[in-house]
Amino acid sequence: MHQIIRLWTPGETPLLNASYGDFEPDIELWLLEDGNTHPCVVVIPGGAYAGVCDGHEGREICELLNDAGYSAVILHYRVHPYCYPAPQLDAHRAVRTVRFFAKEWGVYPDKIGVIGFSAGGHLAMCAALDFDYGLAEGDEIDRVSSRPDNAALCYGVLSLDPAITHMGTRENFLGDNDPALAEKYSGENMMRPDMPPFFLWHTSEDGAVPPECSLRFASALIGSGKQCTLHMFPQGEHGLGRAKNTPLANQWGELYVNWLNFVNG
């Protein structure tokens, strides 16, 4: 099932700014339709909060998930000149929407994960650490929990510390907001006891988003008493997607699916 679903009724998207164009966030459904119920993953491509790379970090990831028996949806979220909190609202709404329609879409409501790449890794991290269990205001979907049940962060911009971050991502995330938000939304400062399990991978050769982003985040998780899975591969530039032609890094997809199977029971 490949279908585009808008996250809000047209014209009702929060923080919509007509001067930025007519784009409104949506999800592209890659649902398995075999009569069975499946776990599902919200796929969040990267693009430095300036674009959404929904080919190699979107549709190719959905193909991987579908082949492994997982339904998936791609999130097309708002990017610059939109800044925080618009993309974060879109990510929360995507998780809520999948959970709200879980029965109709053949999805387990308690097995909904997120996977993000680069800046999409930062957005997936925000979804997994800045969630709520339902809002008192809004429509029926807003009353559903936005907490993902698992999260995978792939060569993610997981810290906005200028010493290790990708500055273009940081600048597009902040916009004209208070720079203190960069510290608040750096993963190492966002730990909470009810966060889901995490899967991380990076390459030590990444020249755009330093591997220290993933190392620092993993250290914060362990320091908080949480388990995590981290794979650091020796070769590969930034933005690999499935990394089909990169030795060792090309194993991450299989490792991720095995991890998903484990955390989903």
Q: List, for residues 8-18, the tens digit of each pLDDT value.
A: 999 899 999 99
Hey, what amino acid is at 128? A
Q: Which residues of the chain have pLDDT under 50?
A: none
**Alpha carbon distances (Å) from 167 to 124, 144, 147, 200, 236:** 18, 34, 28, 21, 21
Q: What is the CATH number of the domain that holds 232?
A: 3.40.50.1820
Sequence-distant (6+) residues with CB within 8 A of 246 are 203, 233, 235, 236, 240
Q: Both tokens of residue 181?
A: 């938000």
Q: How far apart are CA 161 and CA 157, in angstroms?
A: 10
pLDDT at position 227:
86
**pLDDT tens per residue, range 153-212:** 999 999 999 999 999 999 999 999 999 999 999 999 999 999 999 999 999 999 999 999
Quote the pLDDT of residue 1. Answer: 58
Answer whether 84's CB lies under 8 Å from 174's CB. yes
CA R_g for the chain: 17
The confidence score (pLDDT) of residue 11 equals 87
Question: What's the total number of domains in the chain?
Answer: 1
Residue 26 sits in which domain range? 2-263
Question: 177 with 83: CB under 8 angstroms?
Answer: yes
pTM > 0.95: yes or no: yes
Q: Are 213 and 158 in contact (CB under 8 A)?
A: yes
What pLDDT is attached to residue 2?
82
